[in-house]
Amino acid sequence: MFSSHIIFQTPKCQYHGVPEGYKFDFNSEELHMAYRDTSVKLYQNDNEESLKFQHFTKPFKDQKPKTLIPFFDVQLINNLNNMDITEIRPSQIATMMATLFEAPQEVQRTPDLLCVSSTGSGKTLAYLVPMIQKCMDKIYGLPTKAHRKPMVLIFSYTKTLVENIFQIAKKLSKGTNVKIELIAGNIKFIEDTFFDIGICSIGRFRNHFDDNHESGCAQIDISWLKYLIIDEADAMVSDHEFREILEKMKKQVDFSTLCFSATIKCELYCLIDQKNYYAFGGGRINQVAASIKTVFWKVDTKCHSRITGIFNGKINVGSYEKYELQHPFDCLYRFIQKYLFNNSENKKKVMIFVKRSTVADYLALRLSLCGFPAVAVHGRMDYNIRDKFLQEFIDGKCRILFTTNLLTRGTDINIDFVVNYDLPLEYEQWVHRCGRTGRNGNHGIAITFIDINNHTDYSKDIIQRIAVSVEDEVVLPEFMKQMAKLEEMKKENNIQDVSFVNEEYGIE
């Protein structure tokens, strides 16, 4: 149902996408959709009208789909409308093409999919919408009281991500007969294997899947499985336990594997059938999305904070000379005072990332004592308390949230600012951190503190990778431009000993 022709061989791990934003250029030469090495044109309307989910509605009463391609039940479209979701984004139409459109004639089963699209580009909806519709179609062809076994299993990296996906899936499936189970830690074990979609964390799924599953724990029957979704696939591919489960499942039943990620690793190709797969690249791959403005502030972690009297209630905010670098807490304090608490009508929110849970707790307490209510959410907290604090942030009751890698991926909350108080251990984590803002067509600002003399909290290698990745040199401070030049020199000349270059640029 879609035409394709060979244009060029697509080298693996080299994706170039169209910049993310509210409107999308479906004709962009940089937007990449292919079946293996065969370029495929991304479906779009013949006119300039935005592509919408309702254009693929199944005939209902006197209504017919504008595209003349009936995919979605009216109930599913109504649920999308109730969530204020109407327009189809590139990653979503690409996934529809891979799962709902007719596959190339030589294909024996539905192809796998590798979807690499920037943060906030709608990847969760990209797989949930067609999978729920697939289950609805299956249910229509079965007797009313038939026991159904899982047709779709969705895996993600953390329990928090799994729960987020589950909540979205429940909203999308409201009013349908699709049964969705949450299979995750700290949740009651499922009682039977009669459901349509399972949304799983790795450990809890293994409890239900292994031959030696726990006593009284229902064993999941995957004999009906048609689709396995891997969310945050670049992180999942590094999990040895998940790789073992995946291999065991593939030996039992034939299914399509759909991988979704904002950053790509070459290892992702081991998760899919390299002889039968679609590839989609959208947005700035392995870079911060174009909808996010990146800002870099140089700080001095070794100097003393000049905000004193916090713990005795007599707060004094000391000043700095223009040539002095500020302590990161003082930078954060002034930023919040200026951009979040400048007037009573300001409702903006900020998510602040740190590496250590103890630092998150301490900074949240210190800022709260300064008169700016803040909460910390991290993996070492009691689950109920963590969920309570996160919900307060989502509802806007508290507008400042400190967190760790727990919320680096997948959290789809309306956030105006992200602050990287320190740098993560991997560059990709920095991309995902920044990607918590500027989502779903909105714009956001990601601020990164950097102390080039503190290599523990601000790795020089990570700073250099960030500097090289930022395409707009205007936003880079001079010291980062120098580090970017150093990195480029190392690559071009294969320099191992860079001490003489460091001295020239004044980098320690």
Does residue 27 form part of some domain? no
Of 232, 257, 282, the residue at which a domain comes to its end is: 282
pLDDT given at position 478: 82
For 293-322, the DSSP string reads EEEEEE--TTSPPSEE-TTTT--EE----T
The answer to whether residue 59 is domain-embedded is yes
In a domain, 17, yes or no: no
**Helix (H/G/I), strand (E/B), else coil: 275:** coil
Same domain, 340 and 213: no
What tens digit of pLDDT does each residue of 427-441 get? 999 999 999 998 877
Whole-angstrom Cα distance, residue 336 to residue 417?
10
Residues 278 and 296 grouped into a single domain: no
Q: Are residues 266 and 316 in the same domain?
A: no
Question: Distance (Å, rounded) from C-alpha 392 to C-alpha 373?
Answer: 11
Q: CA–CA separation, 407 vs 38, rounded Å?
A: 37
Does one domain contain both 277 and 300? no
- Clarify whether residues 489 and 343 are in a common domain: yes
Residues 215 and 299 in one domain: no
The answer as to whether 3 is a domain residue is: no
Judge whether 350 lies within some domain: yes
Whole-number pLDDT of residue 481: 81
Residue 24 lies in a domain: no
From 258, 282, 306, give the residue that closes a domain: 282
Q: Do 252 and 314 sit in the same domain of this protein?
A: no
Q: What CATH number is given to the structural domain containing 362?
A: 3.40.50.300
Are residues 417 and 383 located together in one domain of the fold? yes
12: in domain: no
| Residues 114 and 182 grouped into a single domain | yes
Spatial separation of the C-alpha atoms in residues 89 and 499, rounded to whole Å: 47
Residue 117 domain flag: yes
Name the helix (H) or strand (E) containing 377: strand 375-377
Which stretch of DSSP H or E encloses residue 483? helix 478-493
421: Cα separation from own chain's centroid: 20
Same domain, 242 and 197: yes
Q: Which residues of the chain have pLDDT under 50?
A: 1-22, 495-508
Print the domain residue range for 237: 32-282
Two tokens, residue 329: 């807490």
Domain termination site, one of 248, 282, 316: 282
Q: What is the full DSSP assignment across 157-215?
A: SSHHHHHHHHHHHHHHTTTS---EEEE-TTSPPPS-S--SEEEE-HHHHHHHHSTTPPT
The pLDDT value recorded for residue 82 is: 94
Q: How far apart are CA 286 and CA 334, in angstroms?
A: 31
In the prediction, which pLDDT does 348 show? 95
Query: Do 73 and 42 fall within a single domain?
Result: yes
Q: What is the pTM of this model?
A: 0.82
One domain for residues 273 and 324: no
Domain count, the chain: 2
What is residue 105's predicted lDDT score, i.e. its pLDDT? Answer: 64
